[in-house]
Amino acid sequence: MRRTTSSYFFILTAVCIFYFGSLYLVSRTTITTDESGCLNFIHDDNKAMAQEESERIINPEEKVFIDDKSTNDKNPVFVQSSTLNQDNDDDETTLVVTYPTDENINSTTLTTPIITQTQEGDRANAAIVILCRNSELPAMRRTIREFEDRFNRKYHYPYVFLNDEPFTNTFIKSIRQLTNAPTEFGLVPDTMWSVPDWVDEKQVEEALADYASRNILYGGSLSYRHMCRFNSGFFYNHPLVAKYDYYWTWINNISIISTDPILQIKYRRVEPGVHFFCDLDYDPFVYMQKNNKLYSFTITLVEIPQTIPTLWDHTMRFAHQNNIKTNFLRMFGDEENGYNYCHFWSNFEIASLDLWRDEKYQAYFDYLDSTGNFFYERWGDAIVHSLAAGMFLNKSQVHFFKDIGYQHDNFAHCVDDGVFGKCMCPENVANFDYNGWGTCMPKWDAFPEEGIRWDFKSNGDQIIGEEAKIISKPEYVSKSSKKSSFSNKKASTPSSSSSS
């Protein structure tokens, strides 16, 4: 019996040695059988997968941009380097050129991760500035949670919360539970959130009733007008904001149901708040600071025309009075067709506070404010900021953050950066960039980087383009002796300033 057991044990040991030895030899031997063989197919497939993965490993320090039209008639997205070599054990650098496909030319739907880098340890004098109310706490908590997870848990930029009413202790304690970053909570003073004394309050009431009867979005809201005026001309000088150089703002306001007959867009009620879809492994404040970027956006779209019937004309008057020289303003309109209603949506803004503190912008705001049309009409801060950027900036100073996935209400900038990327846009959220009715991204893409000359003269002349074409617009010459200049605090009010 003992001999039989020993025999069985010997045979079992031999079989195990043979089996595992065969596996070892197969794993160490280069397969040279016919290409249709099963093992060779597995080997080649694994090799191809490993090579594909190695080509996704991007070293930002070695990234080089090229334009080799002899290889492909489309500009490559990037040249990336990889040190993984499948054929030998030595490290070897392999350059891999990735070209955009026809499907993603001029699109934010990407097949490769977006690589933007800032030096670790660099920091800007910046804050997250949020205008909100106590009633918006649930939506704000959700947004702060997302924003912390995506970005600020790593960078700890301070938050400044502003409200036209005092924040409750519940609101303050609840927000502070979500972040280790410094938080400040401030009250907007009445001087920044009231109807100024040169505005006829009875006429304002009539305007609110008229806009509400026409079912224009936020048309009947006085509070919305206060918010737009505050964001246009005051927030950057608020005591809690005054110490910073850059800001990032997003607005958590509740949608209302409205139908606009011009745009034919029905605003459905959605859960209030904003959402962020991408991890940010770099500092956008530092990126803007080091690259001379003064304003940025994620969504650009058209405005409801009825809300701003005279804003473009007033902007033209201001430009003529101050002999403004521009090369970016034609992104938003021209001398023949007027305003195209495009603007950068200020629900998301990262910008330099000095842009708004500059005397040129302050003079522009003072001129607009003197008309009373923040109240008689329904001028939005997004339009004011956009037209100011058009007058005072070059396109190179404005940045499109294509790698920040963002949603506010029904509008979203979604990023598909591939299976190796860091963005996850919900499947039921559509990318507005090129698919939404009213998007202005094609205009942004088409506008030349060097800009188009458009200079304004106080005599009503306009000088346009490289050929210096001169046209006359006498209707924009002020008939008043008072001028809205960079040295005057208040402008004269044109005869049409109180129209609604």
DSSP string, 111-125: SS-------TT---S
Domain boundary among 395, 417, 444: 444
Sign of CA dihedral 149, 152, 153, 154: positive
| Both tokens assigned to 359 | 């005397």
Q: Cβ distance 226 to 193 under 8 Å?
A: yes
Crossing angle between the packed helical segments 137-147 and 169-176, to the nearest 10 degrees: 20
pLDDT recorded at residue 165: 96
Q: Distance between CA atoms of 442 and 461, rounded to whole angstroms?
A: 30
Q: Of the ranges 11-25, 47-61, 69-83, 417-431, which is most confident?
A: 417-431
Decide if 66 is inside a domain: yes
Q: How far is CA 52 from the centre of its chain?
A: 31
Q: Which CATH number characterizes residue 225's domain?
A: 3.90.550.10
Q: Is the pTM of this model over 0.85?
A: no
Same domain, 266 and 167: yes
Q: Distance between CA atoms of 487 and 40, rounded to whole angstroms?
A: 79
Residues sharing a CB contact under 8 Å with residue 215, sequence separation 6 or more, in sequence order: 258, 259, 260
Same domain, 280 and 368: yes
pLDDT recorded at residue 282: 85
Q: How far is CA 380 from the centre of its chain?
A: 18
Same domain, 226 and 84: no
Helix (H, G, I), strand (E, B) or coil at 474: helix
Same domain, 349 and 400: yes
Same domain, 70 and 189: no
Decide if 151 is inside a domain: yes
Taking residues 480-497, report their average pLDDT: 45
Point out which residues pair with 265 in neighbouring strands: 260
Decide if 168 is inside a domain: yes
Q: How far apart are the first and last CA of the chain?
A: 110
Q: Could you list the residue range(s) of the whole structural domain that residue 85 is in?
A: 48-99
What confidence tier does 260 reach under pLDDT thresholds 50, 70, 90?
Answer: very low
Mean pLDDT, all residues of the chain: 76
Q: Distance between CA atoms of 116 and 282, rounded to whole angstroms?
A: 7
Q: Distance between CA atoms of 204 and 215, rounded to whole angstroms?
A: 17
Q: Distance between CA atoms of 254 and 410, rounded to whole angstroms?
A: 11
- Per-residue pLDDT of 311-360, as tens digits, reads 999 999 999 999 999 999 999 999 999 999 999 987 778 899 999 999 99
Same domain, 156 and 85: no
What confidence tier does 147 reach under pLDDT thresholds 50, 70, 90?
Answer: confident
- Per-residue pLDDT of 304-325, as tens digits, reads 999 999 999 999 999 999 999 9
- Cα–Cα distances in Å, from 253 out to 139, 265, 409? 9, 18, 9
DSSP string, 49-96: HHHHHHHH---GGG-B----TTT-SS--SEEEEE---SSSSS---EEE
Domain boundary among 80, 99, 118: 99
What confidence tier does 24 reach under pLDDT thresholds 50, 70, 90?
Answer: low
Decide if 26 is inside a domain: no
Domain boundary among 40, 64, 99: 99
Decide if 56 is inside a domain: yes
Same domain, 268 and 391: yes
Q: How far is CA 70 from the centre of its chain?
A: 35
- Per-residue pLDDT of 279-290, as tens digits, reads 678 898 999 999
Helix (H, G, I), strand (E, B) or coil at 184: strand
Q: Cβ distance 343 to 374 under 8 Å?
A: no
Residue 264 scores a pLDDT above 70: no
Decide if 191 is inside a domain: yes
Sign of CA dihedral 306, 408, 394, 232: positive
Same domain, 247 and 363: yes
Same domain, 401 and 438: yes
Catalytic residue among 136, 148, 303, 349: 349
Known catalytic residue at 52? no
Decide if 141 is inside a domain: yes
Decide if 493 is inside a domain: no
Residue 138 scores a pLDDT above 70: yes
Same domain, 220 and 293: yes
Same domain, 81 and 138: no
Same domain, 84 and 135: no
| Both tokens assigned to 413 | 């900038």
Q: Cβ distance 463 to 455 under 8 Å?
A: yes
| Structure-token match 């904001």, residue found | 241
CA dihedral of residues 88, 93, 95, 98 (deg, nearest 10): 80
Structural domains counted in the chain? 2
